[in-house]
Amino acid sequence: MSIAPILPCKIVDSKDQDGETLYNVATMNGIIKESFQSAVFLDLTASNFTALRILNTEFLSSISFIQACQTYTSFKSANTCKCNGDCSTNRCQCKKKDRMCCSKCHGGNGLKCKNC
């Protein structure tokens, strides 16, 4: 499974805080509640995100950064296993669905996991 290294978004507002400019951004699914420093952004102006560029953000709801990432990657916490073993059999929901376990599986303790 490949996870996108970027979350496409556009800057919708900026504010100065203690001499530093912080930015508020919107994704296709909402305006992220948290503010970000410019250092975390990549210049994607040459990329083809037409739908995002023309997006009317006026009626978008506020969402957390984690919600935005989960929506963009189609991650569902219900798709995680809660195995206590090594996830080597089809009793593991991830292995059964031919998916690798992730950091949300095993309650964060995947030391024995052979499917991570």
Listed in sequence order, the residues at least 6 apart from 107 whose beta carbon sits closer than 8 Å to its beta carbon are 82
Percent of the chain with pLDDT over 70: 87
Domain coordinates in residue numbering, the chain = 10-73, 78-116
Q: Which residues of 34-47 are buried (b: 16+ CB within 10 A; e: fewer)?
A: eebeeeeeeeeeee
pTM, full prediction: 0.60
Task: Give tens-digit pLDDT for 49-102.
Answer: 888 889 999 999 999 998 888 788 766 556 678 888 888 999 888 888 888 887
pLDDT band for 37, please (50, 70, 90 cuts): very high
The predicted pLDDT at position 81 comes to 83
Q: Is the pLDDT of residue 1 over 50?
A: no
